[in-house]
Amino acid sequence: MKYDVFISFRGKDVRKNFVGFLHQELERLGLKALVDEKEFKIGEDLFDLFKIIEESKFVIVILSNNYASSKWCLRELTKIMESMEMAQARALPVFYQVQPSEIRNLSNPFLKKKFVKFKSFMKGVDDQKMRRKLEEIKRWKKAMKKITTRTGVVITKSRCDHGWYLFEKWAFGSELPIIRDVIREELVKKFGGIPLAVKV
């Protein structure tokens, strides 16, 4: 099954709030999005997942505090960035309660802890497996840094930075206005071909 949008995200961070609203807005735009891991069962061949990424018209990567805790997410991101290099995917990064600099410099405390944990795990494995794993970690780091070079959206608890504009905290803590007014605008600007006459 082909999708208009592939969304890479860490479920426990954003599934029940941001991603839910995002999915609603994408549907209003007439776009079919893969937003739930249940649509792609864990354990299936990664080739199938990568094929979905390649065939999607564009990708939204939601980088949150726990994104790097998932090897699944990191492998998705690596494939997304590789596909972008071959002009097979167009990506919009959303920095959700993290700053691009934290991702780019791996300065987020959780990210540091995660990569240290991976390296510690390497001590008990044979040389060949260690080389493969270390090479994969290098690709993860490269992908994490490269995604920060893309123009995207930064969302924090108190504000949303979109390009040169600053938005006040959304009313009553609802993230729907940000989805509707910011994400949609960015999607239209970046990717084009998205219907503009949408009732809101």
Supply the residues annotated as catalytic. Answer: 76
Q: What is the C-alpha separation between 159 and 66, in angstroms, rounded?
A: 20
Distance in angstroms (rounded) separating the CA atoms of residues 97 and 114? 18
Q: Answer for the pair 40, 49: CB distance below 8 angstroms, yes or no.
A: yes
Per-residue tokens: 82: 């590789």
**DSSP states along the chain:** ---SEEEE--HHHHTTTHHHHHHHHHHHTT--EE--GGGS-TTS-HHHHHHHHHHSSEEEEEE-TTGGG-HHHHHHHHHHHHHHHTTS--EEEEEESS-HHHHHTT-SHHHHHHHHHHHHHGGGS-HHHHHHHHHHHHHHHHHHHHHTTS--EEE-SS-EEETTEEEPPPGGG--HHHIIIIIHHHHHHHH---------
